[in-house]
Amino acid sequence: MLHTFDAAMPEALRLGAFLDAEEIPVSEVRVGDKVWMREYECGYKLFEVAGFGDGRRNGQDMTGVPYVKRYDHDGDWPWNINNYVREDTCRIAPRS
Protein backbone atom coordinates (compact mmCIF):
# COMPACT_ATOMS: atom_id res chain seq x y z
CA MET A 1 0.00 0.00 0.00
CA LEU A 2 2.83 2.41 0.80
CA HIS A 3 4.33 1.83 -2.66
CA THR A 4 0.95 2.56 -4.27
CA PHE A 5 0.66 5.80 -2.33
CA ASP A 6 4.25 6.74 -3.26
CA ALA A 7 3.57 6.07 -6.96
CA ALA A 8 0.60 8.46 -6.80
CA MET A 9 2.76 11.31 -5.48
CA PRO A 10 4.25 13.96 -7.79
CA GLU A 11 7.58 12.66 -9.07
CA ALA A 12 9.66 15.17 -7.08
CA LEU A 13 8.06 13.94 -3.84
CA ARG A 14 8.35 10.18 -4.39
CA LEU A 15 10.54 8.15 -2.08
CA GLY A 16 11.05 5.23 -4.48
CA ALA A 17 13.88 2.88 -3.47
CA PHE A 18 14.26 4.65 -0.13
CA LEU A 19 11.14 2.80 1.05
CA ASP A 20 12.84 -0.59 0.70
CA ALA A 21 16.29 0.47 1.95
CA GLU A 22 17.77 -1.43 4.88
CA GLU A 23 18.00 0.60 8.08
CA ILE A 24 21.17 -0.05 10.08
CA PRO A 25 22.97 1.54 13.04
CA VAL A 26 25.42 4.18 11.85
CA SER A 27 28.14 2.25 13.72
CA GLU A 28 27.79 -0.52 11.09
CA VAL A 29 28.33 1.75 8.06
CA ARG A 30 31.41 0.96 5.96
CA VAL A 31 33.45 3.02 3.50
CA GLY A 32 31.87 2.54 0.08
CA ASP A 33 28.33 2.06 1.40
CA LYS A 34 25.72 4.23 -0.26
CA VAL A 35 23.69 6.07 2.36
CA TRP A 36 20.36 7.84 1.88
CA MET A 37 20.66 11.48 2.99
CA ARG A 38 17.86 14.04 3.21
CA GLU A 39 17.90 16.65 0.46
CA TYR A 40 17.65 20.38 1.19
CA GLU A 41 14.11 20.94 -0.11
CA CYS A 42 12.58 17.46 -0.01
CA GLY A 43 13.26 13.81 -0.63
CA TYR A 44 16.34 11.66 -0.22
CA LYS A 45 19.40 10.95 -2.35
CA LEU A 46 22.15 8.31 -2.22
CA PHE A 47 25.70 9.37 -1.34
CA GLU A 48 28.78 7.18 -1.03
CA VAL A 49 30.55 6.97 2.34
CA ALA A 50 34.09 8.32 1.89
CA GLY A 51 35.52 7.90 5.38
CA PHE A 52 35.17 8.59 9.09
CA GLY A 53 35.71 11.81 11.01
CA ASP A 54 38.81 12.33 13.10
CA GLY A 55 38.20 15.53 15.01
CA ARG A 56 35.92 18.49 15.63
CA ARG A 57 33.75 20.19 13.00
CA ASN A 58 31.63 23.23 13.85
CA GLY A 59 32.22 22.58 17.55
CA GLN A 60 31.06 18.95 17.41
CA ASP A 61 33.24 15.89 17.89
CA MET A 62 32.93 13.92 14.64
CA THR A 63 35.51 11.26 15.56
CA GLY A 64 34.39 7.95 14.07
CA VAL A 65 31.29 9.44 12.43
CA PRO A 66 30.95 8.48 8.73
CA TYR A 67 30.95 11.22 6.10
CA VAL A 68 29.77 11.06 2.50
CA LYS A 69 30.83 12.50 -0.86
CA ARG A 70 28.26 15.28 -0.96
CA TYR A 71 29.64 18.81 -0.60
CA ASP A 72 33.06 18.82 -2.23
CA HIS A 73 36.04 21.02 -1.43
CA ASP A 74 38.73 19.73 -3.82
CA GLY A 75 38.26 16.17 -2.56
CA ASP A 76 38.24 17.24 1.10
CA TRP A 77 34.90 15.72 2.12
CA PRO A 78 35.20 15.93 5.93
CA TRP A 79 35.46 19.73 5.90
CA ASN A 80 31.66 20.21 5.75
CA ILE A 81 29.55 19.20 8.75
CA ASN A 82 26.62 18.50 6.39
CA ASN A 83 28.53 15.56 4.88
CA TYR A 84 28.35 13.62 8.16
CA VAL A 85 25.75 10.94 8.95
CA ARG A 86 24.80 12.29 12.38
CA GLU A 87 21.73 10.19 13.19
CA ASP A 88 21.74 6.96 15.21
CA THR A 89 20.55 4.91 12.22
CA CYS A 90 20.60 5.34 8.46
CA ARG A 91 19.24 3.64 5.37
CA ILE A 92 21.66 2.15 2.88
CA ALA A 93 21.48 0.79 -0.65
CA PRO A 94 22.02 -2.98 -0.95
CA ARG A 95 25.69 -3.90 -0.55
CA SER A 96 27.26 -5.74 -3.46
pLDDT tens string 25-70: 999 999 999 999 998 877 899 999 999 999 998 899 999 999 999 9
**Percent of the chain predicted with pLDDT > 90:** 73
Per DSSP, the three-state class of 44 is strand
Average pLDDT of the chain to the nearest whole number: 93
Q: Write down the pLDDT at residue 60.
A: 93
pLDDT at 22 over 90: yes
Residues 6 and 29: their CA atoms lie apart, in Å, by 27
With a CB cutoff of 8 Å and minimum separation 6, the contacts of 44 are 15, 18, 36, 37, 38, 91
Phi-psi label, residue 39: left if phi above 0, alpha if psi -120 to 50, beta otherwise: beta
With a CB cutoff of 8 Å and minimum separation 6, the contacts of 55 are 61, 62, 63
Q: What is the mean pLDDT of residues 81-85?
A: 96
